[in-house]
Structure 1
Amino acid sequence: MAQLIVAIVAHTVLALAAMWGAAALWFRLPGTPFQRRLAVAGWGLVALVLVTLGFQGLWPASVVFLLLMVVLLTWWFRLRPTHDRAWSADVVHLATGEVCGDRLTLHHVRDFDWHTRDEAEEHWEERSYDLERLDSVDMIVSSWGRPGVAHVMISFGFEGERFVLFSVEVRRLKGERFSEIGGFFRQYELAIVAADERDAVGLRTKVRGERVSIYRLHMSRKAMRSLLLAYVDEANALVESPRFYNTITANCTTLIFDMARGIGARLPFDYRLLVTDRLPGYAFKVGGLWPGHSLPELEADGRIDERARQVHRAPDFSQQIREGVPGWESLKIDESEVVEERRGA
C-alpha cells in the first residue's frame, strides 16, 4: 500500500512537470503559433506515454522522461532577458534619470495622447524636477474586473503643480497582449516607465474603461525623496541589466514593496501584496494612507475614473482628478502654471 502511494505521488509530480513543460514551450519557444502547437503536442504525447509506462512499472520510461526534463530545464535556465526585441511603442523606451544636487532629470518621460488601446500620438520628453519641491506621493490603483488583479502606479507631486508617474509594466512586443499565465513563464521582460498622468491615467480610464482610484500616501518628505530616488536607481539598473517580469515575484507591487523596504520601511509580508486589488487595505493596515479617514471613505472618495474621462487631456488634468480626494481637499488649481509646465517649463 505504501509503495502504491509513493508511486502515485511520484507520477503525479511527473505529470505536473509534463504540464509545466508544455506551458514553458508554448510561451517561450521561438516560432509561429502553428510551430509551437506542434512542439507542445509532440511533448505532450511523449510525456503521456512515458509517464503512463512508468506508472505501469517500466522504470526506464521514467528515467527517459527525467532526462527529457533535464534537457528542457537546461534550455529554460539558459533563457536571458534582453532589450533587443521589437517592442510595443509604449514601452520602446525605459525611464532613466540622473540627480545633480536637488535637480532630478528624467529621460524618456512618456506623454502619449491615446486614441485606442494600440494607437496614440507618440511623444517622449526629457523633464527636470526640483526635489526641494517634492511634497506628495500618491498610489494609483487600476482594475479591470478580474478578481484579485489590479495595476498599481506611484505618482510623485511637486507642490501640487507638477506630477510624474512611475509604472512597473510588462515590456510587450508589438501586437502582443498581456497574459497573467504568460507572466509565470518568462514571456515578458520588465519595464519601468515614467509618464505624464494624462497619458497613464487617461489610457486606463478613457481608453480602456478601467476603474481607477487615487490614495494619497502618508509619508515624510525624506521618505518621499528616498522612494523617488529608489525608483530612479531601479530604472537605471534595469536599463543596464534587463530582467524578466514575473506575475508573482517581479511585478508592479513586489518592486514597490522591495523599494520601500530598501529605504527603511518596516513592512510585513501580507497576502494582499499578491492579491493586488487588495493593496489599499494593506497600505491602510500599515498606516500608509492619508490619516483621518476610514478605508471605505478612502476607497469611495478616491475613485476618479469618471472624472478622469470627463477632463481627458485637460492641461490641469492632475489637479482636477484630485478634487475631493482625501489629502487633496485644499488643492488649488493655477492654470497658468500648469499650461507653462505643459510647454516644457
Structure 2
Amino acid sequence: MAVTGFLGFGGLLVVALVVVSRRPSLDRSWDEDVRVLTSVEVLPDGTRQLGEVRHWTYGPDTVLSKGYSAVTYDPQDVRGLWMYEQELGLGGRIAHTFLVFEFPESYGDKRWLGLSVETRREVGETYSLVRGVLRGFEVTHIWAVEQDLVRRRVEYLDYPLTRYRVSVPVEYVQRIFEQMVDETAALAVTPRWYNTLTTNCTSSLIRYVNDAEPGAIPRHYSSVLTGRADDHLGALGYLDLASAEHVTREWLRQHPVRAEASGA
C-alpha cells in the first residue's frame, strides 16, 4: 500500500511539474475564431483604436460572413455596461460571462462593443473545464460587436444566454473599459495562460470595481463558481435581476439583439 501511495504521489508530482513548466505562446496553429489578436493603439487625445473588432455574422449552425474593422473608442464616451452569462457545467455552477460596453449612437453599428475573455484554442481543440485550470489553453480577449458575440452563441451554437444590465457608476465603467483595453494590449506582446476559475470577465469586473472603490464587492465563491455570480452581484445591487432577458434562438426570431428605439 505504501509503495502504491508513493507511486501515486510521484505521478501527481510529475504531472504538476509538467504543468508548471509549460510556457504560453503567441505562435501556434490557432482556430480561426481566435486566430486574430486585437491590436491596441493609444492615440494622443486619449482615445483607443482597436485594430481588429470582429463582426462575423451567423445563421443556425453556420457562419455567414467574417470580418474585422479598426474602430476608435473614447473611454469617456462609455455610457453603460451589460453582462451576459452562458452556463457551462456543474449544474450551472460554472458559466462563461462576457461584457458589452454601451457607446453613443454616433458610433453606429459599433455602438455596442463586447469583450469576451476566452481560451485561445488550437485547431482541433475543444474546450475543457479541467484543461482550463491546468494551463491547457492560452487566454485571449475577443473584442467584437454585440451582434457577433450573441448570435455566435445563440444562433450558431444554440447556447442560450442571460443578459443583465450592470448597475455601477459610469466612471467605473469607463475605467473598466480602459483597463481591459490595456490588458488586451499586453496580451498581444506577452501571452498568458487561461484559467477557468480566475481569468474570466466576472473576476475582471469584480477586480476593476474594487480598484475604483476598495471593498465594493466582497470576496465570494461566485468569483470562481461564476454560474452563481449573477445571484451574488444581484444581491449587492450591481445587476438588475428583475429585468434579465433570456436570449434563445426562439427569442431572436422575435426580437433584435438590441432594441435601439427603447434604449434597452
Give the TM bin, normalised by the shorter chain. 0.7 to 0.9
CA shift for structure 1 position 311: 6.5
Q: Residues 224-303 of structure 1 correspond to what in structure 2 (within 5 A)? A: 224-266=173-215, 267-290=217-240, 295=241, 297-299=242-244, 302-303=245-246
Residue 93 of structure 1: aligned partner:
36
Name the amino acid aligned to 1:15: G
Q: Residues 38-57 of structure 1 correspond to what in structure 2 (within 5 A)? A: none
In terms of Rg, which structure is larger?
A: 1
> Which structure has greater helix proportion?
1
> Cα deviation per residue 1:65-118 (whole Å; 9 max; x = unaligned)?
xxxx4xx65544331100100001111122232333253321111111235668
> Which structure has greater strand proportion?
2
Q: Tell me if 1:319 matches 2:258.
A: yes
CA distance in 2, matches of 1:145, 1:208: 16
Instruction: Return the TM-score normalized by structure 2.
Output: 0.84
Q: 1:146 to 1:121 in 2, by over 3 A?
A: farther
CA RMSD in angstroms, aligned pairs only: 2.8
Residue 95 of structure 2: aligned partner:
150
CA shift for structure 1 position 308: 5.3
Q: How many correspondences in the alignment?
A: 257
Q: 1:116 to 1:180 in 2, by over 3 A?
A: farther
SS in 2 for 1:201: helix
From 111, 117, 124, give the equivalent of 2:68.
Answer: 124
CA distance in 2, matches of 1:307, 1:220: 33
CA shift for structure 1 position 142: 1.6
Name the amino acid aligned to 2:233: A
Q: Tell me if 1:200 matches 2:153.
A: no
Instruction: Return the TM-score normalized by structure 1.
Output: 0.66
Consecutive unaligned residues of structure 2, counting only runs of 5 or more, are none
From 282, 305, 318, give the equivalent of 2:248.
Answer: 305
Task: Note if contact 2:119-2:140 (Cα within 8 Å) is conserved in structure 1.
Answer: yes
Q: 1:241 to 1:129 in 2, by over 3 A?
A: same
CA distance in 2, matches of 1:244, 1:150: 18
Residue 84 of structure 1: aligned partner:
27
CA distance in 1, matches of 2:143, 2:247: 20
Consecutive unaligned residues of structure 1, counting only runs of 5 or more, are 1-6, 22-68, 324-329, 333-345
Name the amino acid aligned to 1:305: T
